C-alpha cells in the first residue's frame, strides 16, 4: 500500500476540475464529477465529506447542490489535500525499541525516554522534507500546468459534458 492513498489522487483530480472551470467558483455534484472521470461515486462522496470537514470545499445541499472550493485555488496546497484525506498520518511510527533492551530487565533508565529516538529523528526530518515539497504546490499551480498540456478543445468538451449532464436532470415530475 502506498503511503499517499488513491483517495488523494481522486480528490486532487476532482478539485482540479472544480478550480479549472472558467469563471471559477461554480459548483458540481459529486456524482457528475465521479462519472466524468470513471471513479466510484459513493467512495468520492466519502472523500468529499473529509474535504469539507477540513474546510477545503463548501457544500450546498438539496437538489442542484454540489461542492465548490471554499478558498481560492492558490490558497489550497497539495499538502492540505493529503492531510484532509489521509488524516496527517505519520511516515514512520517509532516503537521505542530502546526501552525494551534486555539489559535493563524491566526498569529502564530515564534517558531512554528523551524524545525523539535517534532513528525517529531521521525519519521525522525526512517526513518534513516531503511535506515541504507537497506544500510548495497549490491547486492553481497544478491547474496552470495541466492547462499547458491539454488541448483547448478538451476543456470545452468537458464543460459541455457537465452542462448537458446538469441539464438532463431537473427536479419535479419531469419524466411523467
Member of 53, 55, 65, 157 binding a second copy (CB under 8 A): 157
* 59 interface partner picked from DNA, a second copy, none, CB below 5 to 8 A per type: DNA
Residues 97-116 that bind DNA (CB under 7 A): none
Residue whose grid cell is 472550493: 69
Minimal distance, residue 161 CB to a second copy, in Å = 5
Residues 28-67 that bind a second copy (CB under 8 A): 35-39
Own/partner long-range contacts of 105-112 (Cβ < 8 Å, ≥24 apart): none
Torsions phi, psi of 69, nearest 5? -65, 140
Residues 14-33 that bind DNA (CB under 7 A): 29-32
Q: How far apart (Å, rounded) are the C-alpha atoms in residues 62 and 98?
A: 56
Q: CA torsion 159→9→48→24, rounded to 10°?
A: -30
Is residue 46 near DNA by the rule CB under 7 A?
yes
**Residue 127 in contact with residue 90, Cβ under 8 Å?**
yes
Minimal distance, residue 170 CB to DNA, in Å = 6
Q: Dig out the grid coordinates for 54 from the structure.
A: 477540513
Residues 108-127 that bind a second copy (CB under 8 A): 109, 111, 114, 118-119, 122-123, 125-127
Pick the closer one to a second copy by CB: 36 or 45: 36
Is residue 130 near a second copy by the rule CB under 8 A?
yes
Q: How far apart (Å, rounded) are the C-alpha atoms in residues 69 and 59?
A: 9
Is residue 40 near DNA by the rule CB under 7 A?
yes
Q: Dig out the grid coordinates for 118 from the structure.
A: 535517534
SS3 category, 69 = strand
Which residues of the chain form contacts with DNA (CB under 7 A)?
A: 1, 5-7, 10, 29-32, 40-43, 45-46, 48-49, 52-53, 59-67, 86-87, 89, 169-176
Amino acid at each position: 500500500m502506498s503511503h499517499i492513498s488513491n483517495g488523494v489522487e481522486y480528490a486532487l483530480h476532482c478539485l482540479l476540475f472544480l478550480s479549472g472551470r472558467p469563471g471559477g467558483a461554480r459548483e458540481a455534484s459529486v456524482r457528475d464529477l465521479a462519472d466524468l472521470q470513471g471513479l466510484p461515486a459513493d467512495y468520492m462522496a466519502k472523500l468529499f465529506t473529509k474535504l469539507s470537514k477540513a474546510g477545503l470545499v463548501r457544500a450546498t445541499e438539496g437538489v442542484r447542490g454540489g461542492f465548490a472550493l471554499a478558498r481560492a485555488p492558490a490558497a489550497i496546497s497539495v499538502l492540505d489535500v493529503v492531510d484532509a484525506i489521509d488524516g496527517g498520518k505519520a511516515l514512520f511510527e517509532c516503537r521505542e525499541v530502546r526501552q525494551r533492551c534486555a539489559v535493563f530487565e524491566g526498569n529502564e533508565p530515564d534517558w531512554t525516554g528523551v524524545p525523539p529516538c535517534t532513528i525517529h529523528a531521521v525519519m521525522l526530518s525526512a517526513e518534513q522534507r516531503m511535506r515541504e515539497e507537497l506544500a510548495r504546490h497549490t491547486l492553481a499551480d497544478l491547474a496552470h500546468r495541466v492547462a499547458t498540456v491539454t488541448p483547448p478543445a478538451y476543456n470545452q468538451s468537458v464543460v459541455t459534458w457537465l452542462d448537458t449532464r446538469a441539464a438532463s436532470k431537473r427536479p419535479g415530475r419531469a419524466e411523467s
